[in-house]
A and B are shown apart, each in its own frame.
Chain A
């Protein structure tokens, strides 16, 4: 387990992205939270650090200079690197972390299921800048207004029509939904087959019938854009059906993909908790209560001790789940535990920090107030806390967890 010794690769990622988070992300986090705006300039800068919009498709080469091990049976380190990096970026700002990594949600199924031609097309669609001079980003369009946790109930339909599919439906809570240059859209090609008929499509911005919708005003992660996307008789060539004509597990394959990404989501939650913890430690070290240093009060000191235990435990779960993914082990239970517990710890730590800080942290945009708002989404997206517990419970009883 790499968290128990000084793995040079992970240490390097932590150091590089930790410095990036402190020096580049933190100073602009409050402004993008207030404006609910994407940090386009920073996203462009992040590309220089290897955080490209196609990094997931390209493997880890862009980030580390090394190609991923070709032998599928050999251990990799992508999930662990992803966790180490995600924690650092979210330590800076979870919303900006998601803005930088948002395209990865769409890139993952392309990397996992896409043909070589589709991966090339995905890369091509993300090359250069968009009409606003921003880097191009991608969006994964899965959730729908009536389909949140129960993704097998998708109502968006892709009807075959000659060499094309015609997509109709509405998508909700889509990261990068308003600005994306390319979408990976999930639609049912055969409603009579239920979830087995759900397949993914690569759809370029500007395709007639693809209508980016309203941007949402959110409680937190405001630097990450969330929007509706509408498909109205949107014709997509069959070549853009992920996996092509080959038999694919479609949505089930996507669910498996979540087993490797959930630890990263848990790692982001750990990053938020650590941010609040560090802020509180610094504040406590400089503060007094009625003339006595705050750190001398057990009420405060023991709260910090509890927080530190929770953060360390959450990080251990995250890295164990990632380590299992990198070693091709079945990590479905551990991945859900890492995600669910990370979310719980982020919420607990930020809430308790607010209580201890009292009136000074009531201001909108106070760092801990912001982290408290940001933390909540980690119990909702990428499978709610309830869904994670369902997976864990089913796994305990030997039932197919997904």
Chain B
């Protein structure tokens, strides 16, 4: 085993870290207050290869060969250190692009990649509670209900939808032009252009259905694996960021005659958070490594399980770390002059997006048991 990053991964980490330290962190507070990313983000991040990294070269993108989820996790960890909201925006195209590249028809590829190459965004939504009303319509589908809230849906042209039509899983590309989009003001990740999309008997042509039945179940498992790996990596970055701010404050703030960072109770809070963040980072990297090696049912299941575990741990760790960072800053942590109250709000989406991960894991086991 070799835990060291290779040269290319190291270069990615260093490049994204510079971008984060120079730009993203400087923009984060204003983006949170404004509820929108700065206009410059698109240009700067685009130059660094975001948005089109999962779009095939032949379709105007930058993907030449297999996609590396390991590299994505490395950069996601760095992005999480900067701003969870902007990170979500920068990563939003990956799942739709990979899914359409893998399972999509020529028409779906043309629609999505054409939009992304022209600067458009796509996002991913999952009907985790089974509340959408989806029926067959000839070879296509009719969808009624509300998608989201999810990041980027406020502006995205396409949504990769994971849902069920009756008992049959489906994976489809939805054109948001066929529905009514509404902005959504989230608690955290406020730079991520959140939105909802209400569909009323919207028609989804057969060419936009990427998979259905058992194939859709497998494809959905892979998409969720990619998404959860990325979430976990970013969450670890947010936890690291929270403790960077807390450490700086605790080393400077003097109470009872010494820096508060010298008190054992606060050392423990920081140490627990650092330990958790390190564990989640490793779990995310491991799950990403497995995602890069999926070749059959067994490896697909192993990758999904690893991603799910990483995501469960990530939700717990980032919540605890950011809450404890606010605790360490005390009254200053509770006001928005300091960045940690934003981080505490940002942390929640890691456990709430896509639904309750622990519930998913229980349902997966019950499915294996035939219950």
Q: Which residues of A contact B359 (CB under 8 A)?
A: 289, 297, 299-300
Q: Is there a chain B Cβ closer than 8 Å to A355's Cβ?
A: yes
B356 touches A386 (CB 8 A): no
Tell which of B190, B254, B331, B333 has the most Cβ of chain A within 10 Å: B331
Q: Give the interface segment out of A7-15, A86-94, A148-156, A185-193.
A: A148-156
- Which residues, 142 to 178 on A, are CB-close (under 8 Å) to B? 143, 146-150, 153, 172-173
Distance, CA A150 to CA B130, complexed state (A): 52
Tell me which residues across on chain B come within 8 A of A347, comparing CB atoms: 323
Whether A363 lies near B362 (C-beta < 8 A) is: no
Contact of A362 among B255, B336, B344, B352 (CB under 8 A): B352
Q: Interface stretch among B99-107, B180-188, B291-299?
A: B180-188
Instruction: Produce 1/0 per residue, B179-208, CB < 8 A to A.
Output: 000001111101000100000000000000
- Whether A358 contacts B352 in the complex (CB less than 8 A), given A148-B255, A289-B359, A386-B265, comes out as yes
**Distance between A309 CB and nearest chain B CB, rounded to angstroms:** 19
A-B contact number at CB 8 A: 126
Q: A143-B331, A220-B334 are in contact. Are A363 and B255 (CB under 8 A)?
A: no
Determine if B25 is an interface residue (Cβ-Cβ < 8 Å). Answer: no
Asked whether A219 lies within 8 Å of B341 as measured between CB atoms, the reply is: yes
**Further 5 A-B residue pairs, CB within 8 A, beyond A288-B129, A355-B352, A369-B187:** A359-B149, A365-B185, A373-B187, A380-B327, A389-B265
Describe A's contact surface by its main secondary structure. Answer: mixed
Known contacts being A148-B255, A218-B336, A219-B334, is A363 close to B128, with CB within 8 Å?
A: no
Q: Are A376 and B334 in contact (CB under 8 A)?
A: yes
A355–B312 CA distance with the chains assembled, in angstroms: 11
Q: Is the CB–CB distance between B330 and A362 below 8 Å?
A: no
Within 8 A of A (CB), among B335-350: 335-337, 341, 344-345, 348-349
Chain B interfacial positions (CB closer than 8 Å to A): 128-130, 148-150, 184-188, 190, 194, 254-256, 263, 265-266, 315, 319, 323, 326-327, 330-331, 333-337, 341, 344-345, 348-349, 351-356, 358-359, 362-363
Q: Which of A168-219 contact B (CB under 8 A)?
A: 172-173, 216-219
**Residues A362 and B265 in contact, CB atoms below 8 Å apart:** no
* Chain A residues positioned under 8 Å from B355 (CB to CB): 358-359
Task: State whether A363 touches B356 (Cβ < 8 A).
Answer: no
> What number of A residues sit within 8 Å (CB to CB) of B?
49
- A143: nearest chain-B partner, CB-CB: B331
Contact A217 B353 (CB under 8 A): no
Closest residue of chain B to A370, judged by CB? B187
Q: Chain A's nearest CB lies how many Å from the CB of B322?
A: 10
Find out whether the CB atom of A379 lies under 8 angstroms from the CB atom of B356: no
| Smallest CB gap from A149: residue in B | B255
Minimum distance in angstroms from B182 CB to a CB of chain A: 12
Cβ-neighbour of A363 out of B187, B333, B341 (below 8 A): B187
Cβ-defined contact, B331 with A376, below 8 A: no
28 intermolecular pairs with C-beta atoms under 8 Å apart? A146-B254, A149-B256, A150-B255, A153-B255, A216-B335, A219-B326, A219-B334, A219-B344, A288-B130, A290-B129, A290-B130, A297-B362, A299-B356, A300-B359, A357-B352, A358-B353, A358-B354, A359-B148, A359-B353, A362-B186, A363-B185, A364-B190, A365-B185, A366-B187, A369-B348, A376-B323, A376-B334, A386-B263
Q: Which of B190, B254, B331 contacts A172 (CB 8 A)?
A: B331
What does the 1/0 interface line of A229-253 toward B look like (CB < 8 Å)?
0000000000000000000000000
CA distance A24 to B29 in the complex (A): 35
Nearest residue (CB) in A for B363 is: A290
Closest to B315 in A: A355
- Binary contact track A347-365/B, C-beta < 8 Å → 1, others 0: 1000100111111011111
Contacts of B148 in A (CB 8 A): 359
